[in-house]
Structure 1
Amino acid sequence: MFRDESTKVIQKAHAQWGVQGPPSDSSEASGSSPPSISPSGTSGRSRTSIAESTGSSSPVSSEESRLAAPRVPLEITTTSVDRAVQFYLEHYVIGLPDEAKSGYELQQHRWVFAPTTRQVMAAVGLAGLSNIAGDKDTMLMARQQYGIALRDTAMALQNFQHHDVDITLRAVVMLGMFEIVRGDDQPTKGAQTHIMGGAALMRSVLPFFQSSPDGLRGLVQICYSMVATVMCSVQQLSPEPNVMIPTEPVPSMAQGILPPAFFDWIHLGSSTAVPEDVPAVQLIAIIARFVQLAALIRSRLLKDGRSETLDILKQALEIERELDEWETRQQDPWLFREERVGGNFFPPDAVFEGCYHVYTDMWTARVWTNYRFARILVNQLLVEAIERFPTTAPSLLSADQQRRSLDVIRRVARDTLVSTPTHYRHPRLERRHRELVEKTSGGAEIGAVQIPTLLFQLKVAAAAPGVPHSYYVWAREMLRTVFADTGMLQARRLGDILEKARPASPPAFIKLEDL
């Protein structure tokens, strides 16, 4: 899969640049040297930059030292790849859940210095910097690094037994992140390719994790990324991205929305999950059915009074019942609590209403966020059906059901906003703030992996029917902040889609130029 993708990308790049042969293996293009980056203090974040001491520490004789030329300041000698790697580490790693809290801590991680992951870090960093600055030349460099990273990942997979599993998996996840950051016409399609590759890779190494739940959790977590990415794609590719029952169908969406292997992975999870992981496996099966149903609805024009419409509403109502029962069944360690700090302790744009969640670990926190977007959307579907199908809907959906659905939407949408600091560290959060909101840890593995899903969930919560306007404003500004902070074009695109859901209003509190 990666060989095919690599070939296409590199051939396309060569056609654009007029280059013959493979991409250059120069030090700047290949990035074979370890990152040599100094503290910049310019990122606007409260995360610590990478320490300059990550360079070589090999001993030097006194004679060599005497003859050596004076050291040139690092800020002058750093390449564009160095700066891109630094941007990636400061904005996609340091301070995020279960990641290093400072540049010094990064020196303990082998993946930071691995050539393959360095290529992808450079690609993502260049893409983010390009989006923020609107610089097309930088994006061309990002594509070049991406092509090299695809080639190197393919080589690593060909000789997988000789490579570090953790490094290779991180590289695969970061390749998917590049698609989201770059934000082409169909960014989620490219991301899906890499998510599938990551899941297949995780499945192939699962026997090595039989004595630990980590292997299965990794596979199930990738499955959650898949359903969220597919659902986001279903909405983005529709002329009506903020509704569940469109008036303009997209027939192509009925075909193969989730790959057959996906359901094999779910079956594997169901048969091998330890008791504490059963809720996660049960939920992914329910959400997968909902995503397929949502794609089916997008592919055709439903009409009032038709048996097909009635059948689809029955399926939606059954999924809502199963999601409700899933939530009701949960007990420790799946329960979470909400905490609140009064007054103006937290920046209001970073922590919704001064509230945040505390979970057992990041594994359960991520499962809950996926539950929320599915619960909101299925109830939005029911609310829209009551209005759109006055003949068909009353036999299944009463006025009480409409009120229940609106109540569920408001409650779960609020939980989505309150849970945001668990997954994303807003640039305005200082150490005293983070000491409170960072009470959830463990199980994240890669901190940035949840951010693309979080972006979609914020859009879903803010565009849902019946939510207060303050939810819309807060989520919209959070999407703008994520784009200004990371350069993730998907954040801006989802923000643009969200703007279509409600009339624009002045930002309540954020000034992006202060970031």
Structure 2
Amino acid sequence: MVYRGKPSPSCAVCTGYRDQSDFGFQDQSEEVVRNYHQSAKKKGKEKEKEKRSITSSPILPSTTTGTLVTPASSPPSAGSPPRSLATSVQDIARGYLYTNYMTGGPRTRYMAYLVPLMEDRQNRALDAAVTAVALAALSNIHASPRTMLKAHVEYSTALSATNQALRDPNICKRDDVLAAVVMLGIFEIVSCTDTSFIDRWMNHLDGAAKLLEARGPEQLSRPEGLDMFTQLRAQITLSEIYQQRHSAPILAQLTEQVHCYRDAKDHILDQLGSIVIKLANFCANVKEGRFEKPVEIIRTALSIDAAFVSLLIIAPSAWSYTIAKVPTAHSATLAPHIWGPTYHIYKSIAASSMWNNYRCARILIQELILDTLDGISASTERDIAFPQRHTLELQCRQTALQLVEDICASVPFSLGSEMEMEIASNKSADSAAANSPACAGVAISGSGGLTLMWPLLVAANSGVAPKDLRNWIAGSLNKIGHSMGINQALAMSKLLQDQMKTRAWLS
């Protein structure tokens, strides 16, 4: 873990840390939300007053959908909010994180590995890190500065405990310590306040890579260790490609060894990971000038691109997706949620994330080929060395644009919008079906937003995305930021609105 400076000034307002047992991890989300929304309805007139006095309220009553799922059954009548609601913001926040990131349906199990790790009440660093992320997200959703102060106090506790654990050569290899490092990184994503998030993101990934190396192949033998390795490998290699830096050798070694621990149906994850590592090393070699001729760069790039395509021509059923059409009658209403006439339906957030990692890698390959072609100055050289140069340019642009549109087609699934489309369609065809429990409400999963931000940014900065598509992506990032409480998405949206190219920062 990289030290990022002294703790927030908010730590000064803290009167001391509570006993960590007070923050027991419990799934109380349905009970809390039932009382929470009933109270909000009873106190409609007080709502605006509470908004005006935001700084004195730990959390605002709100009817915002897409964060906490309202139960389908009618809530029981209630008077004033229970005393525990005013004093247990941590429990509300942790319940939100639990239901939106760890358990539930295909959109919300992205960090399911946290559940067994949280059962050990002695994992102090992880406990505080989870609470910090949960409070920060809820603070952003409800615009509550006081809740954010609580989040920073928990973050300071988690950072101190994590640094202490990392100094022990044995404790640092535990799954809960790596999970705490991951959650500290997510805290910075959630609480992001400026556009320097790229540097912080890369620094955290550098620290995570060192931990993966220290943990060795033994980490792959446990489900929690295997899941964290898979997710971190994808992020680390993307960071290395962005920096045109050679991939850490340990990633390739662990990727070769992981097939012994992975189900056969999931081997595609490691096959894809191997190709992405090869791409990272290729980009580093290009930066270091290890190719004598541009044609060598292009041939190697096309070879790697072909390896990507051949791998996913026929994906295993668990990792495949279907293409659905937008209901024509509702296309105008649903326009903010979808780009184009079709969208994708995946079987899990993990599947959509895998495909978007694949698309990001291929987009970067097309960019590299186009940059290489543009780098050949003399027209005679272009004609002699590349008689089919224009054909290749057109092919790369078309491929990149299709990959960009495919990333955008994954947005409805990740944000739950395709459920809204199904509901709208059902209402037109059969009002009774629309009132079924399956259509009772739509929850926007934090997991979907967390995995979607970087693919959207890569797509928008691809060089082939037209202005209206970039604006649509900026709107999607804003939706992620406001609905899910992930501030980094808002920072990314601002970069796009300011016409800034993130990859240019790295060179």
Normalised by the length of structure 2, the TM-score is: 0.67
Counterpart position of 2:272: 283
Unaligned stretches of 5+ residues in structure 1 = 52-69, 101-107, 235-252, 437-446, 504-515
| 1:72–1:383 CA distance, 2 compared to 1 (3 A) | closer
Write the distance in 2 (CA, Å) between the matches of 1:451 and 1:488. Answer: 8
Paired residues for 1:43-122 under 5 Å = 44-46=64-66, 48-49=68-69, 73-74=82-83, 77-86=86-95, 88-89=97-98, 92=101, 97=106, 99=108, 111=118, 116=124, 118-122=127-131
Measure the CA separation in 2 of the matches of 1:89 and 1:357: 26
Instruction: Work out the CA distance in 2 between the residues paired with 1:359 and 1:18.
Output: 46
Deviations 1:99-154 (A, max 9, x none): 38xxxxxxx98848957555223211333355567777655543321232345567
Name the counterpart of 1:24.
16
Rounded to whole Å, the distance in 1 between the matches of 2:21 and 2:85 is: 20
Is contact 1:176–1:195 with CA below 8 Å preserved after alignment?
A: no
Query: Are 2:462 and 1:471 aligned?
Result: no
How far apart are residue 378 of structure 1 and its match? 0.9
1:219 aligns with 2:229: yes
Q: Which residue of 1 aligns with 2:323?
A: 338
For 1:44, what is the secondary structure of its paired residue?
Answer: coil
Aligned length: 430
For 1:348, the equivalent position in structure 2 comes to: 335
In the other structure, the counterpart of 2:205 is 192
Give the alignment's TM-score, normalised by structure 1.
Answer: 0.66
User: What pairs with 1:242-281 in structure 2 (closer than 5 Å)?
Assistant: 253=243, 258-269=247-258, 275-281=264-270
**Contact conserved, 2:136 with 2:190, CA < 8 A, in 1?**
yes
- Displacement after TM superposition at 1:297 (Å): 5.5
Deviations along 1:206-244, one digit per CA (max 9) or x if unpaired, are 3356xxxx975663343123223444xx3xxxxxxxxxx
What does residue range 68-467 of structure 1 map to in structure 2 within 5 Å?
73-74=82-83, 77-86=86-95, 88-89=97-98, 92=101, 97=106, 99=108, 111=118, 116=124, 118-129=127-138, 139-151=148-160, 171-183=180-192, 185=196, 186-193=199-206, 195-196=208-209, 199=212, 203-208=217-222, 219-231=229-241, 234=242, 253=243, 258-269=247-258, 275-294=264-283, 307=292, 309=294, 311-328=296-313, 330=315, 332=317, 334-343=319-328, 344=330, 347-353=334-340, 355-359=342-346, 361-391=348-378, 395-396=385-386, 398-425=389-416, 429=420, 432=423, 448=446, 451-467=449-465
Query: Deviation digits for residues 48-88 of structure 1, max 9, x if unmatched?
Result: 5589xxxxxxxxxxxxxxxxxx9973376324434543554
- Structure 2 counterpart SS, 1:227: helix
Aligned to 2:6: 12
User: How big is the shift at 1:411?
Assistant: 1.5
**71-80 vs 470-479, which deviates more?**
71-80
Alpha-carbon shift at residue 45 of structure 1 (Å): 1.6
In structure 2, C-alpha distance between the alignment counterparts of 1:430 and 1:30, rounded to whole Å? 43
Asked whether the 8 Å contact 2:366–2:400 carries over to 1, the reply is yes
8 Å CA contact 1:462–1:471 kept in 2: the answer is yes
2: distance between equivalents of 1:14 and 1:454?
28
> Take 2:498 and 2:226, find their aligned partners in 1: how far apart are those partners?
39
Amino acid at match of 1:73: P
Q: Deviations over 1:287-313 (max 9, x none)?
A: 12323444565688x9xxx93655444
Using a 3 Å threshold, how does the CA distance of structure 1 residues 94 and 215 change in structure 2: closer, same or farther?
closer
Q: Is the 8 A contact 1:169 1:198 kept in 2?
A: yes
> Which amino acid in the other structure matches residue 463 of structure 1?
N
1:492: which partner in 2?
490
Distance 1:318 1:222, change over 3 A: same
The structural deviation recorded for 1:30 is: 7.4
Task: Return the alpha-carbon distance in structure 2 between the equivalents of residues 169 and 448 of structure 1.
Answer: 21
Q: Look up the equivalent residue of 1:401 and give its one-letter code.
A: L
Amino acid at match of 1:225: Q
| Cα offsets for 1:311-330 (capped at 9, x unmatched) | 44443233223223334465
Measure the CA separation in 2 of the matches of 1:288 and 1:365. Answer: 20
Q: 1:13 to 1:274 in 2, by over 3 A?
A: closer
Match of 1:339, SS state, is: strand
Answer yes or no: is the 8 Å Cα contact 2:107–2:414 preserved in 1.
no
Amino acid at match of 2:234: Y
What fraction of aligned residue pairs are identical, expressed as a percent? 20
Q: Distance in 1 between matches of 2:283 and 2:209?
A: 21
Question: For each residue in 1:174-212, what CA deviation from the matched residue of structure 2 results, as whole angstroms up to 9, or x when unmatched?
Answer: 333213223363231344156437746594343356xxx
SS at match of 1:324: helix
Structure 1 residues 458, 14: CA separation in 2 closer, same or farther (over 3 Å shift)? closer
Distance of aligned partners of 1:405 and 1:202 in 2 relative to their CA distance in 1, 3 Å threshold: same
Find the aligned partners of 2:140 and 2:180 in 1 and give their Cα distance: 22
Say whether the 8 Å CA contact 2:11–2:152 is kept in structure 1.
Answer: no
**In structure 2, how many angstroms separate the alpha carbons of the residues matched to 1:258 and 1:353?**
36
Q: CA deviation at 1:95?
A: 6.5
Distance 1:74 1:49 in 2: 22
Using the TM superposition, give the Cα deviation of residue 376 of structure 1 relative to its aligned residue in structure 2, in angstroms: 1.3
* Structure 2: runs of 5+ lacking an equivalent: 38-61, 72-78, 110-114, 427-432, 434-444, 502-507
Partner AA of 2:229 in structure 1:
L
Whichever structure has more helix as a proportion of its residues is 2
What is the CA–CA distance in structure 1 between the aligned matches of 2:12 and 2:66, rounded to whole Å?
42
Inter-CA distance 329–109: structure 2 relative to 1 (3 Å threshold): closer
